[in-house]
């Protein structure tokens, strides 16, 4: 089945107000920037976004914040976005902070059909409030639920028409697990190759998890925070 679509408009047209979207990437690395920009253009609102962080003020998911399209953010790090802070403190934005490893496992569990699991991370902290506790071998654990989004946005380096994906270096962060955690997964890619050109051993996400593939051009390689040392 050829999963390649010709336009970003078609890629996001089925996303309605109130949808939950899992978004891959880490900082500004490996983010599905063109899908995010098109969703901003479409104007879909009251979104729940599940992603490691929320971009920066003028790029990535920060564009959706600026347009007030995000109702709730589920993430593990929010320190690079002043607008995020302002909207949270003003009550415009609901935030669920999740330890990074727990967030990764919640997405992995959701993609694997596992409804919940127990972890020791967060026991005795604000994270554990209101959650089921259980003891295993004399140690306390809390229950965390798997996450499944209505949609998932991921950014890959290469894909074939079947939707098999290859991620490049650090972009292989949250993208592979995000791809499994969406009911409908849309992958934007830098390069489309022919069927059979990808070595099976280099495929990070099998096409069974991907419903749509969009080939983007002219990707911007931004640096989230530039740090230099004196010569």
Tokens of 49: 């976004």
How many whole angstroms separate alpha carbon 30 and alpha carbon 170?
A: 7
More confident residue, 113 or 11: 113
How many whole angstroms separate alpha carbon 9 and alpha carbon 3?
A: 15
Tens digit of each residue's pLDDT (9 = 90 or more) over 85-135:
899 999 999 999 999 999 999 999 999 999 999 999 999 999 999 999 999
Please, what sign has the CA dihedral across residues 152, 155, 156, 159?
positive
The answer to whether 122 and 128 have CB atoms below 8 angstroms apart is yes
More confident residue, 56 or 63: 63
How many whole angstroms separate alpha carbon 222 and alpha carbon 29?
A: 8
Q: How confident is the model at residue 158 (pLDDT cuts 50, 70, 90)?
A: very high
Give pLDDT, residue 43: 97
Q: In the chain, what are the domains?
A: 8-115+147-215 (3.40.1080.10)
> Would the pLDDT of 225 be above 80?
no
Give pLDDT, residue 227: 83
Tens digit of each residue's pLDDT (9 = 90 or more) over 205-219:
999 999 999 999 888
pTM assigned to the model: 0.93
> Would the pLDDT of 223 be above 90?
no
Task: Report the run of H or E that residue 186 belongs to, with start and end.
Answer: strand 182-192
> Would the pLDDT of 229 be above 90?
no
How many whole angstroms separate alpha carbon 141 and alpha carbon 132?
A: 8
Instruction: Detail the DSSP E strand segments found in 79-177.
Output: 94-97, 116-119, 133-136, 139-145, 149-159, 165-166
More confident residue, 230 or 204: 204
Average pLDDT score over residue span 32-42 = 96
Give pLDDT, residue 149: 98
More confident residue, 32 or 82: 32
Tokens of 128: 């554990």
| CA angle in degrees (0–180, nearest 5) for 127-172-207 | 105
More confident residue, 218 or 177: 177
> Would the pLDDT of 49 be above 90?
yes
How many whole angstroms separate alpha carbon 98 and alpha carbon 88?
A: 16
Tens digit of each residue's pLDDT (9 = 90 or more) over 19-34:
999 999 998 899 999 9
Q: What percent of the chain has pLDDT over 70?
A: 100
């Amino acid at each position: 089945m050829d999963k390649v679509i010709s336009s970003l408009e078609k890629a996001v047209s089925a996303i309605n107000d109130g949808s939950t979207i899992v978004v891959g990437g880490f900082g500004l690395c490996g983010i599905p920037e063109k899908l995010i920009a098109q969703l901003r253009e479409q104007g879909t609102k009251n979104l729940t976004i599940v992603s490691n962080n929320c971009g920066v003020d003028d790029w990535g998911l920060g564009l959706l914040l600026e347009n007030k399209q995000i109702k709730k953010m589920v993430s593990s790090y929010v320190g690079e976005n002043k607008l995020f802070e302002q909207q949270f403190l003003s009550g415009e934005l609901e935030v669920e902070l999740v330890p990074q490893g727990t967030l990764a496992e919640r997405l992995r569990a959701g993609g694997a059909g596992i409804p919940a699991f127990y972890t020791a991370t967060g026991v005795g902290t604000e994270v554990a409030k209101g959650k089921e506790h259980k003891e295993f071998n004399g140690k306390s654990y809390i229950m965390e639920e798997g996450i499944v989004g209505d949609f998932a946005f991921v950014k890959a380096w290469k894909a074939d028409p079947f939707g098999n994906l290859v991620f490049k270096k650090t972009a292989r962060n949250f993208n592979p697990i995000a791809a499994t955690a969406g009911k409908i997964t849309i992958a934007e890619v830098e390069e489309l190759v022919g069927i059979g050109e990808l070595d099976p051993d280099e495929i990070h996400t099998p096409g069974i998890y991907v419903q749509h593939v969009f080939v983007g051009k002219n990707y911007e390689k931004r640096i989230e925070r530039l740090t230099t040392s004196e010569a």
